[in-house]
Amino acid sequence: MPQLTPHFAARLNSFAARPDLFWHSATNAPSTLALLERAAAVPGLSHVDLNYPDHALSVPLADLKAFFQSSPLHLNGLEMRYYSDPAFALGAFTHPDAGVRAKAIDLTRRGIDLVAEMGGTAMNLWLGQDGFDYTFQVDYQQVWQWEIEGIRQVAAHNPDILVSIEYKPNEPRAFSLLGDIGTTLLAIREINLPNLGVTLDFCHQLIAEEQPAFGLALVRRYSQLIGVHLNDGYRSRDDGLMVGSVHPLQTLELLYYLRQMGYQRTIYFDTFPRSEDPIEECAANIATVRRMIAALEHLSEPELERILRRQDAVSGQKLLMQTLMRL
């Protein structure tokens, strides 16, 4: 079986937590470059994603390029964020005003241009504003068509840049248009562009009441996996807790199948340290994933294959417990 040797990236805004530990101030909002400098202090962290337009446009492009040229960190890609513009509150690609939809598409295209200019590989789309809150609020057929058209236009903008859909059941809308793995794969299949794929966010999958490894299996069958966001939570909301803190078995299973498929792209820690030191929290996430990957090396492949063929849950749990004891 292939080895799992991913790059590690982290949510840049996580490094704004506990400013008193790094900048000796609890009041001043840190700049993008200050956040990048703090992220660079994490042992084992090799990549970062910038939110667009929030992070990426708050710093002169020359300064961003200079940072990455002198830093051990590399740019993985950009994360589209529409929430910073009140115009998108009713939707980005699905807003009832055609002018607002065009604005969202143009903003995303400019983000993709920046990914290419900075040497990144992927643009991640979290279309959290595209959804609805009430019955009789939207024409479902129409908003679906607008969503498909919007994603198609931005994905076709530069075929060399991967465009990935990160689905989430809700928040900020009561119902997201792309809220689960099945709906997301239907959209990708309808659009049918080779640079389009999926980002799996572990906590989002839990909120959608999905088994993360099963979601991965569907992505492998019907699309391509572009990104993985690891975190954890209690299924009712996007808690953004440390990796493996609540669902270690599901995390281990997901890593097993990532190893099986030969995944070599980035694992991104989408966690929300609040009272924790974000440098220590990120380092702990890296250590947890590395320990889980190391434990999988001791898993008996022939024995696991026999268990899966028989669908033998009892033997499967015994094997998992033996594996976890190696962590």
Instruction: Set out the domains of the chain in order of their start, with CATH numbers.
Output: 7-292 (3.20.20.150), 297-327 (no CATH)
The H helix count followed by the E strand count for the chain is 11, 10
Q: What is the CA radius of gyration of the chain?
A: 20
Q: Provide the 3-class DSSP secondary structure of residue 162.
A: strand
Q: Provide the 3-class DSSP secondary structure of residue 176.
A: strand
Instruction: Give the torsion through C-alpha atoms of 255, 257, 259, 265, to 10 deg.
Output: -80
Q: In whole angstroms, give the CA distance from residue 192 to residue 180.
A: 18
Q: In whole angstroms, give the CA distance from residue 246 to residue 234.
A: 7
Per-residue confidence in pLDDT tens, the chain, 327 aa: 788 888 999 999 999 999 988 887 666 679 999 999 999 999 999 999 999 999 999 999 999 999 999 999 999 999 999 999 999 999 999 999 999 999 999 999 999 999 999 999 999 999 999 999 999 999 999 999 999 999 999 999 999 999 999 999 999 999 999 999 999 999 999 999 999 999 999 999 999 999 999 999 999 999 999 999 999 999 999 999 999 999 999 999 999 999 999 999 999 999 999 999 999 999 999 999 999 999 999 998 999 999 999 999 999 999 999 888 877
- Whether residue 259 contacts residue 267, with contact meaning beta carbons closer than 8 Å, is answered with no
Q: Identity (one letter) of the amino acid at 8?
A: F
- The H-assigned helical ranges of 158-277 are 181-191, 202-207, 212-222, 248-261
Give this prediction's pTM. 0.97
* DSSP character at residue 230: E
The per-residue pLDDT for 191 is 99
Q: In whole angstroms, give the CA distance from residue 322 to residue 113.
A: 48
Residue 226: name the closest of 201, 254, 190 by CA.
Answer: 201
Alpha carbon 155 to its chain's center? 17
Q: In whole angstroms, give the CA distance from residue 161 to residue 77.
A: 9
Q: Return all residues near 269 (Cβ < 8 A) that are at least 6 apart.
A: 8, 9, 10, 11, 14, 229, 230, 231, 243, 282, 285, 286
